[in-house]
Amino acid sequence: MADTLPMRDTARREDAPWLTLKMREAMEAWLFISPTLAGFLIFFGGPLIAVVWYSLTEWNLLTQQATFVGLDNYNDALFRNPDFWHVVRNSVIFAVGLVPLNMALALVLALALSGRFAGVVVFRTVFFAPVVTSAVAWAIVWKFLLQGEAGFINQILALVGIDGPNWLREPNWAMAAVIVTRVIKMVGLNMILYIAALQAIPRDYGAAARLEGASGWQIFRWIVWPLLGPTTLVIMVITTIGSFKVFDHIYQMTGGGPENGTLVLAFYIYQQGFQFFDVGYASALAMIMFVIVMVLTIFQLALRRRDT
Partner 1 sequence: MTAFLTRRRIRIINQVCWTVALCVAAIPFVFPFLWMVSSGFKSAAEIFGSPSLVPREWQWRNFIDVFNHQPFARQYFNSLYIAVIVTALTLLVSSLAGYALARMRFAGAALIALLLVTALMIPEEVTIIPNFFLMRWAGLVDTHWPLILLPTFGPQGIMATFLMRQYFLALPRELEDAGKMDGLSRLGVWWRIALPMSRPALAAVAIITFLNSWNLFLEPLIFVSSLDKFTLPLALSNFTDPYGTPLWHLQLAATSLAVVPILVVYIIAQRQIIESFALSGVKG
Instruction: Report the residue from 123, 170, 206, 303 that binds partner 1 according to the rule CB under 8 A.
Output: 123
- Site membership for partner 1, residue 130 (CB under 8 A): yes
- Window 189-218: residues binding partner 1 (CB under 8 A): 189, 192-193, 195-196
DSSP string, 85-131: HHHHHHHHHHHHHHHHHHHHHHHHHHHHHSS--TTHHHHHHHHHHHH
Per residue in 150-186, is it b (16+ CB within 10 Å) or e — as a string?
ebeebeeeeeeeeebbebbbebebbbbbbbebbbbbb
- Window 27-56: residues binding partner 1 (CB under 8 A): 28-30, 32-33, 35-37, 39-40, 42-48, 50-51, 54
Instruction: Report the residue from 109, 174, 224, 250 that binds partner 1 according to the rule CB under 8 A.
Output: 109
Instruction: Report the residue from 60, 81, 166, 252 that binds partner 1 according to the rule CB under 8 A.
Output: 252
Instruction: Report the residue from 165, 166, 227, 248 that binds partner 1 according to the rule CB under 8 A.
Output: 248
Cβ proximity to partner 1: between 171 and 247 the closer is 247
Residue 77 is given by DSSP the state I
Distant-in-sequence, close-in-space partners of 6: CB < 8 Å, separation ≥ 6 = 12, 16, 24, 27, 28, 31
CA distance linking residue 117 with residue 126, whole number of Å? 15
CA distance linking residue 281 with residue 265, whole number of Å? 13
- Window 155-174: residues binding partner 1 (CB under 8 A): 155-156
Least separation in angstroms between residue 124's CB and partner 1 is: 7
Cβ proximity to partner 1: between 11 and 306 the closer is 11
Binding piece for partner 1, criterion CB under 8 A, among 79-87, 96-104, 219-227, 285-293: 285-293
- Window 69-108: residues binding partner 1 (CB under 8 A): none
